[in-house]
Amino acid sequence: MAQMTMIQAITDALRTEMKNDENVLVFGEDVGLNGGVFRATEGLQKEYGEDRVFDTPLAESGIGGLAIGLALEGYRPVPEIQFFGFVFEVMDSVSGQMARMRYRSGGKYSSPITIRSPFGGGVHTPELHADSLEGLMAQQPGLKVVIPSTPKDAKGLLIASIRDNDPVIFLEHMKLYRSFREEVPEEDYTIELGKADVKREGTDLSIITYGAMVHESLKAAEALEKDGYSVEVIDLRTIQPIDIETIIASVEKTNRAIVVQEAQKQAGIAASVVAEINDRAILSLEAPVLRVTAADTVFPFSQAESVWLPNSKDVIATAKKVLEF
Amino acid sequence: MASNKTAQFDAVKTLHKIEDHFEMFQILDHEGNVVNEDAMPDISDEDLQELMHRMVYTRILDQRSISLNRQGRLGFYAPTAGQEASQIASHFALEKEDWVVPGYRDVPQIIWHGLPLSQAFLFSRGHYLGNQSPEGVNVLPPQIIIGAQYVQTAGIALGLKKRGKKAVAITYTGDGGSSQGDFYEGINFAGAYAAPAIFVVQNNQFAISTPRDKQTAGKTIAQKAVSAGIPGILVDGMDPLAVYAATKDARDRAVNGEGPTLIETLCYRYGPHTMAGDDPTRYRTDEMDTEWEKKDPLVRFRKFLEDKNLWNEERENESIEKAKEEIKEAIKVADDTPKQKVTDLMENMYEEMPNNLKEQYEIYKEKESK
């Protein structure tokens, strides 16, 4: 076991899989010699050579096409999109192409590709760096979308993503990269995709969340405990497909739920979680399922992040509305 | 205040200098005369006959496909008549281990690369089994997103290079497609990695109704290769020998590690853009059609081969009959293919179905059992 930040855990997962499988290729803008703009691929090119870890021209769409083509020749590409706001440049390669490859070829070809990309607010990035666009990905059949919130989860989920024979979008929240350390096993291990994790057990309210909002929700749960409420916090970890079983089991126990996301109300995946609960556990509900989200504006100018991004106070307020409904 | 100083650098002259390098490469003229003996590819008599056979066959395939489409026995179809030299002669320069990454009009190339005709018809109708090409046949299904095949080809070619295979990836787009970002990114990536790719632009003069000169101010499309720093060549796309020679040369250089080539084939489609209601009389004149009919690749290649005593009416009729017979057979196979079920579609989504699909699978299985 070693104390690692999330970014270290990600590098460790990449190193582990590069060692395990010579078909794993890491490429993107500045991921080689430079080790990535966040150092996520630090040292990998030195260790595995330019043939396995390499820089690309500055063109996201080309990177997507490169990944698809390399996969057709039997490689297991792990490309990086420098910031997920740049996904619009590569939407066709991702949603129009790799997500559909297995289906359109009647199962002859597949896209065992893991796209890594940072996102998330709270670190005052310039325009289109921090936007939460996971909702777009979650709507595309053929993709899986993974968003870890802890170093330990990040390593296990990334290894599982790389080993998955279908395309996975692996979104790394920038604020969580180095915000805390955690014990991470040194050996290789996987965390099953599509499985949520109960980060805190409780009996009065279920908070269903992911990404940086997991930590805001845990903070809120602690505060609510002081008010006498027992709150369960579910970290989805994979937002497509959603672990419905874990959510429903929790809601049937607590009878109340809120969904917390950093994305705007019209974006993200909270609406989808609410719909699943309504479909499957309406008779258990003592109150409507409410959402904590950002406002339906463009992602804020960096100085406005603190008033725009949802935080633990918003979680507490919404939780109380549901608890006192 | 405007300066009277004469510019030391003449940008217009520089442009013209570049453009002058892209003269059209031709071996056979309209009458089937060899006009460029030095460039004549080394190709056996049997291969010349096989190439003619494939071109005749493909012309018949086009005629029959249009007719079957009109009868409602085929679906989506993009006519190919006029482009036989561009499509078939370029494919003829390839080897089995090469990858063919086609656009939506490039069904003939993947058929000659090993996709059964019946599957090509299923592709047209919209059946997943049409796209399940046989094992060992390195083709992708026809790409509908114009330009996407270019970036993917750069990736396949890099894969071939990394594996140390002596093979290439070839892809095709049209004149309109050369305006896409993915077109440029594809040739630029392949260039940066010196990947063994052949990029073909079949300039058939029109992107649906938009004429070629509305796509770019560039005098040729071949010169776009300069932006990627790779060789580009403008070929008479109605001349099978020139197309073959240019593709063969590009393949040789690619497998020798010298990187990709962009080939522009100047050609013409005699039919509409697709069979989905396009009316070419709105944007094409009779004069234009007549002028290009004189350039028909079949006419000139037939003349060339007849002069060498390698082709005659009997051989041509054999090719026509063979094509018609096989088309009839293939349509029958397509007709006999089981209908698609939603559960079939679900099974092809992932290696292992996620929970949402598992749940829906049971619902549809129940529905389908009734």
B273 labelled catalytic: yes
Q: What pLDDT was estimated at residue B8?
A: 77
| Residue ranges per structural domain of chain A | 2-184, 197-324
Q: Which of B145, B157, B162 sits opposite A51 (nearest CB)?
A: B162
- Percent of chain B whose pLDDT exceeds 90: 96
Q: What is each CA distance from A175 to A3, A240, A286, B255, in whole angstroms?
A: 18, 22, 35, 46
Say whether B353 sits in a helix, a strand or coil.
coil
Domains, chain B: 16-339 (3.40.50.970), 340-369 (no CATH)
A285 phi/psi in degrees, rounded to 5: -80, 130
What would the pLDDT profile of B244-296 be if each residue is shown by its tens digit? Answer: 999 999 999 999 999 999 999 999 999 999 999 899 999 999 999 999 999 99
- Per residue in A132-179, pLDDT tens? 999 999 999 999 999 999 999 999 999 999 999 999 999 999 999 999
In which band, very low, low, confident or very high, does the pLDDT at B4 lie, cut at 50, 70 and 90? low
pLDDT digits (tens, 9 = 90+) for A74-106: 999 999 999 999 999 999 999 999 999 999 999
- If you search the block for the tokens 């590569």, which residue do you land on? A90
3 state SS of A127 = coil
C-alpha B302/C-alpha B51 separation (Å) is 11
CB contact under 8 A, B351 and A110: yes
With CA atoms as reference, report the closest residue to A25 among A50, A2, A60. A50
**Residue B20 pLDDT:** 93
Lowest mean per-residue pLDDT among A141-145, B6-10, B308-312: B6-10
From A17, A285, A325, A12, select the one nearest A148 (Cα to Cα). Answer: A12
| CATH, domain range A197-324 | 3.40.50.920
Q: State how far the Cα of A136 lies from the Cα of B165, in Å rounded to an integer.
A: 38
Cβ atoms < 10 Å from Cβ of B17: 10
Q: Which residues pair with A28 in a beta bridge?
A: A55
The per-residue pLDDT for range B327-338, each reduced to its tens digit, is 999 999 999 999
Query: In a mutagenesis test of the A interface, which of B123, B139, B185 is the best target, namely the one with the most A β-carbons within 10 Å?
Result: B185
DSSP string of B225-291, one letter each residue: HHHHTS-EEEEETT-HHHHHHHHHHHHHHHHTT---EEEEEE---SS-S-TTT--GGGT--HHHHHH
Residues of chain B with a CB closer than 8 angstroms to some CB in chain A: 99, 128-133, 135, 140-141, 145, 148, 150-160, 162-163, 169, 181-182, 185-186, 188-189, 192, 345, 347-351, 354-357
Is the confidence at residue B223, as pLDDT, over 70?
Answer: yes
Helix (H, G, I), strand (E, B) or coil at A97: helix
pLDDT tops 60 at residue A222 = yes
Predicted confidence (pLDDT) per residue in A107-134, tens digit: 999 999 999 999 999 999 999 999 999 9
Structure confidence at residue A76 (pLDDT)? 98
> Amino acid identity, residue B63?
Q
Q: Are A40 and A79 in contact (CB under 8 A)?
A: no
| E strand map for chain A | 2-4, 24-28, 53-55, 76-79, 114-119, 144-146, 168-173, 182-184, 197-200, 205-209, 231-235, 238-240, 257-264, 290-294
Give mean pLDDT, residues B223-229. 98
Max CA-CA distance within chain A? 60
**For the domain A2-184, what is the CATH superfamily, name and number?**
Thiamin diphosphate (ThDP)-binding fold, Pyr/PP domains (3.40.50.970)
- Percentage above 70 pLDDT, chain B: 98
Q: How would residue B2 be classed by pLDDT, with cut points 50, 70 and 90?
A: low
Give pLDDT, residue B9. Answer: 86
Mean pLDDT, residues B89-115:
98
CB contact (8 A) between residue B188 and residue A57: yes
pTM of the predicted model as reported, rounded to 2 decimal places: 0.97
Cα separation of B223 and B234, whole Å? 8
Per-residue pLDDT tens for A48-80? Answer: 999 999 999 999 999 999 999 999 999 999 999
Determine the distance in angstroms separating the CA of A43 from the nearest CA of chain B, rounded to an integer: 21
Asked if the domains A2-184 and A197-324 are classified in one and the same CATH topology, the answer is: yes
Q: Is the pLDDT of residue B114 over 80?
A: yes
Q: Is residue A293 very low, low, confident or very high in pLDDT (cuts 50, 70, 90)?
A: very high
Residue B6 has pLDDT above 80, yes or no: no
Quick check: B160 and A73 CB within 8 A? yes
**Does the pLDDT of residue B7 top 70, yes or no?**
no
CA nearest neighbour of A323 among A206, A158, A184: A206
For residues A212 and A148, the answer to whether their CB atoms sit within 8 Å is no
Do the Cβ atoms of A105 and B150 come within 8 Å? no
Q: Do A62 and B188 touch (CB under 8 A)?
A: yes
Q: Looking at this predicted complex, what is its ipTM?
A: 0.97
pLDDT in tens, A250-279: 999 999 999 999 999 999 999 999 999 999
